[in-house]
Chains A and B, each alone.
Chain A
Amino acid sequence: MKFSKLLLIALSISLFASCSSDDNDGPKGAYDNGFFILNEGSSDAGTVSFSSNDFTIFTKDAYKAENGADVLGKFVQNIFFEGDKAYIIAGGSNVISIVNRYTFKLIAKVDSGLANPRYGVVKDGKAYVTNANSYDSVTDDYIAVINLATNLVESKINLNTTGNRIIEESGKLYITDPMGSDKLSIYNINTKTLEDPITIGSGSDSIEEENGTLYILRPSYTQSSEIIKVKISDKSVSKIEIPESQGVAGYLDIENNQIYYTVGNSVYSINTAATTASISPMFTASSDIGYLYGFAVKDNRVYLSDGGNFKTDSKAYIYNLSGSLLKELTVGVGPNGFYFND
């Protein structure tokens, strides 16, 4: 792509961003109106990079920039938000660092009651965080219930299977299981009980909800990968098979009634109502991406990250929906996810 065209796109995006922002108070901090890239780290602690939506501001290690010598911990896995706060999970260090999402200043840490925490959601003042616990056991995983007023783990919900990605919808938690079983776990927050799990097939990973339906990606190395649809009202399951010839699926995200998913370095898109997979990709990302490790779609942009070699700084790539590269960012080690802050 020509440089002039790139500039034009950047300009139009920044105009769009500033016009659409109806926030009259202006930015709430240096990290408003942008997105975070989580870098899980490897032998050393993980980091968080920040870029403004117009790419004019970029901070490679936002936590260090604001908090000095303190570290987030090993294997930074997930961020979830509540109010003005961002909760950053470092799985390898059993800790959640709570920062102001706009200034990134440390507020507190949740540093007990967690065992290899993975992903979290918030409902009614409580955070629900999946914990892989011992990796030697697939039945000891639990959800830590954290009271956000005290930042303490107040109870644990035993899953009796592996728990990984988690979403909350209408008072229920839905948890995918990448290795322990072929079930989707369901927890009812009001009755505090685990409901009957739904059989969806083994190896389930990304999970999203849209209009009463759960969309779950089930990558497979031995057969066709699948997108599983679970209708929440009657728990009915339908499947969309991704042709095995395309490769192994990676990640899934939903935006404006479109399902976006990756297979290899290609990004595919189908309508949420579709019953078959796309036969051709929207676009194929840079072959420089050796190991696609993070994926998100937001405001007509596709965010992709390269896990890299997990020894040196790697890269994040931002494309528009037609597959033009808008920006390439050098981030930290092992970038694994994008989180939007506006």
Chain B
Amino acid sequence: MTLKRFFAFCLFLMCQIILGQNDSITSLKEVLISDKNLKKYSASQSVLKLNDSIINKNEALLTDLLNFNSTLYFKEYGRGMLSTVSFRGTTSSQTAVIWNGININSQMNGSTDFNTISGSDYNSISVKAGGGSVIYGSGAVGGTVHLNNDLLFFNRFENNLRLDYGSFNTIGINYKTSISNKKWSTQIGFSKNSSTNDYKYLNRYTWRGEQRWNQNGQYDIITLSANAGYKFNENHILKLYTQTSNTDRNTSLITESETKSKYINGFNRNLLEYDGNFGKLKTNFKTAYIFENYQYFADNSTKYYTYGKTENLITKLDVDYNLFKSTHINGIVDYSRTNGYGSSFGSHIREISSASLLLRQDIGTNWKNELGVRKEFTSNYKSPVLFNLGSSYKFNDWYNLKLNVSRNFRIPTYNDLYWDEGGNPNLKPESSYQGEIGNVFTFKNFTWTQNFYYMKITDMLQWVPGANGIWTPQNQDKVNSYGTETLLSWKKSYGKNIFAANTTYAYTVSQDEKTKNQIFFVPFHKATGSVSYSRNKMSAYYQILYNGFVYTRADNNPDEIINDYTISNIGIDYDFKFLDSFKLGFQVLNLFNKDYESLENRPMPGRNFNMYLTLKF
């Protein structure tokens, strides 16, 4: 489908459902989020928040949620396999994933695999476009993805259970219990998502004429979470977040005769946080221990494997001082020590300290300004001074203008520095300058966000073959990215009928400065759309995703592309109103049975089905 047709289609859908109006009522309760700076220092940038009602409409793994609901582009090595992101035309290690305020991108390869994360383990997932290295550190270049667990302090005992069963023996078990009163709040969660993932490849046959299918694609992801908060009083709060996960995944084959391999990875994250309020002075102290490991079995019939592990200890002190009425200053010092060891990079300790200063000022209620500076101190690499400068001005009820300029970076990983052979200990971080203009128009039930950005990235790390055939990373390329993002959101209710529609569209040009070629695996166009309708106990929704073509090669060889594709899902659920809520739902994924892939020779499944049951009690 061409883009024009896509928009016409969205418009058509929206016209169909513009009906009367009735503001929905949102109840306000005190919510404590860990990632406070996401709220405090994002006035001049665009943040897309996906709450649990959206999370629940998508497949369990995070790739699917973000693919259908944001401008992020994903490259998947088959369904459920390794999934890497590109945000605003950047690389997979230039999007930082932030768990309750802590950067959790792998210390080993710099990126996050979005198919190892289950969306339902979090209360909300936010996507913040643009630079954020001053607050979030390495990798916050294209943008950041925030996984947040919220702690609520009121009397409740609530259980949520969701069971999924779908095609290819896809099984999901997600359970969450929240127990809280005015002093205590706990949340314990368990999720398990697995699939034999043996789907047929549409229209593909072996040389013997047999139907090809996804072999060795099974996965099993288990995550346990426990979060607790204790209020000593209104001014002193202690919080603990922990999460342990294990992903046991085989790797699907390109040809049937390949050696079957397996990749097991896991993490353990612990975060202890103290909030103290001393009038004009507020402190937030965080200490976190993050363990990450992988084992790769090149042949899963043998016991041989390669491995890597990192242990990362982070301590962070954030002091917020209210200078005068409308001006706050934050001083943040942090220290991070990583101990990494693996079969391919030996054993190395990395210590990084940093100091940052943030300033925010509200002039009246309509004008907000932000300023931030950060400098890292480490013996591992030369670190640039990072900064962030932003302003948001509300001209009137319906128009808000946002400006932001920032300098961000991505530090070399353990693999880059220490890989044996080829690691290069003399690397500089990749660094970027970025400017953006955001426009937010709000009319009654309708919000339109239009962002424009320009980004210049230098010292891009590239692994290149050296003189003696050993690959080694070099700081070499420069990339210029620019583009625009459109986010539209609309919600209306008419009597008992509630309608909502959301669309996103990204136009992305990401060019190698020297060759002027589009960076490979960055689509010029990506669009998503969703409409939902609910009435009483019933709700129905439809999602559509358009991914423009991508080059697979740096030279933009026109013969080497992944074709564009449009896929859609439809779902319906009904609440039997047994217990607090007893919903039975049914989804058809890839409704039109589209034969597509996001990486060459990695076909995705055709039309498939999912059934779910959600219980609240």
Contacts and interface: CB of A to CB of B under 8 A. Distances in A.
A73 interface: yes
A248 B601 contact: no
Interface string A105-118: 01011011011100
Interface in B451-477: 464-465, 467-469
B211 interface: no
Contact of A137 (B304, B469, B557): B304
A94 B298 contact: no
A267 B299 CA distance: 39
B278 interface: no
Nearest to A92: B258
Given A134-B299, A290-B465, A309-B465, A73 B553 contact: no
B464 A309 contact: yes
A135 B204 CA distance: 31
Interface string A291-335: 100000000000000010111110000000000000000000000
Contacts of B254: 45, 71, 73-74, 93
B259 interface: yes
Given A44-B552, A69-B204, A136-B304, A310 B465 contact: yes
Nearest to B557: A313
A70 interface: yes
Interface in A32-84: 44-45, 69-71, 73-74
A195 B302 CA distance: 30
Interface in A11-50: 44-45
A116 B258 CA distance: 9
A108 B298 CA distance: 27
Contacts of B204: 69
B554 A312 contact: yes
B555 A94 contact: no
A291 B207 contact: no
Contacts of A108: 207
Interface in A207-256: 221, 248
B379 to A, nearest CB: 30
A95 interface: yes
A44 B256 contact: no
A221 to B, nearest CB: 6
B600 interface: yes
B298 A73 contact: no
Interface residues of B, number: 27
A71 B306 CA distance: 29
Contacts of B520: 311
Nearest to A70: B207
Given A44-B552, A312-B555, A313-B553, A136 B465 contact: no
Contacts of A313: 553, 555, 557
Contact of A112 (B206, B207, B257, B302): B257
B515 to A, nearest CB: 10
B601 A44 contact: yes
A114 B257 contact: yes
Nearest to A69: B204
A312 B206 CA distance: 27
Given A70-B207, A313-B555, A135 B298 contact: yes
Most chain-B CB neighbours within 10 Å: which of A71, A136, A137, A313? Answer: A136
Given A93-B258, A134-B302, A44 B600 contact: yes
Contacts of B464: 309
B81 to A, nearest CB: 13
A71 B207 contact: no
Given A44-B601, A71-B601, A136-B298, A311 B554 contact: yes
B255 interface: yes
A248 B259 contact: no
Contacts of A312: 553-555, 557
A106 B205 CA distance: 14
A7 B605 CA distance: 52
Contacts of A95: 255, 257
B313 to A, nearest CB: 32
B601 A45 contact: yes
The main secondary structure of chain A at its interface with chain B is loop
A112 B256 CA distance: 10
A35 to B, nearest CB: 22
A196 to B, nearest CB: 30
Most chain-A CB neighbours within 10 Å: which of B207, B255, B600, B601? Answer: B255
Nearest to A247: B467
A311 B469 CA distance: 15
Interface string B485-523: 000000000000000000000000000000000001000
A221 B468 contact: yes
Nearest to B77: A43
A115 B465 contact: no
Contacts of A106: 207
Given A134-B299, A309-B554, A312-B555, A73 B304 contact: no
A326 B525 CA distance: 43
Given A134-B298, A134-B299, A313-B557, A71 B465 contact: no
B82 to A, nearest CB: 12
A248 B468 contact: yes
A109 B469 CA distance: 31
Contacts of A45: 254-255, 601
Interface in A82-137: 90, 92-95, 106, 108-109, 111-112, 114-116, 134-137
A109 B468 CA distance: 34
A102 to B, nearest CB: 19
Contacts of B256: 111
B523 to A, nearest CB: 18
A111 B601 contact: no
A290 B469 CA distance: 10
Most chain-A CB neighbours within 10 Å: which of B204, B555, B557? Answer: B555
Contact of A291 (B258, B259, B469): B469
A116 B552 contact: no
Interface in B548-569: 552-555, 557
B304 A134 contact: yes
Contacts of A134: 298-299, 302, 304
Most chain-B CB neighbours within 10 Å: which of A92, A111, A115, A310? Answer: A111
A239 to B, nearest CB: 22
A73 B255 contact: yes
B259 A115 contact: yes
Interface string A133-148: 0111100000000000
Contacts of B555: 312-313
Contacts of A115: 259, 299
A309 to B, nearest CB: 6
B521 to A, nearest CB: 11
B255 A93 contact: yes
A248 B553 CA distance: 31
Given A44-B601, A134-B299, A74 B465 contact: no
A309 B299 CA distance: 27
A95 B304 CA distance: 22
B422 to A, nearest CB: 13
A116 B465 CA distance: 22
19 contacts: A44-B601, A70-B206, A71-B255, A73-B257, A92-B258, A94-B258, A95-B255, A106-B207, A108-B207, A111-B257, A134-B304, A136-B304, A136-B306, A291-B465, A291-B467, A307-B469, A310-B465, A312-B555, A313-B557
Given A93-B254, A310-B465, A312-B555, 17 more contacts: A45-B255, A71-B254, A73-B258, A74-B254, A94-B258, A95-B255, A95-B257, A106-B207, A112-B257, A114-B257, A115-B299, A134-B302, A134-B304, A291-B469, A307-B469, A309-B465, A313-B555
The 3 closest A-B pairs by CB, nearest first: A111-B257, A136-B304, A312-B555
Interface of A: 44-45, 69-71, 73-74, 90, 92-95, 106, 108-109, 111-112, 114-116, 134-137, 221, 248, 290-291, 307, 309-313
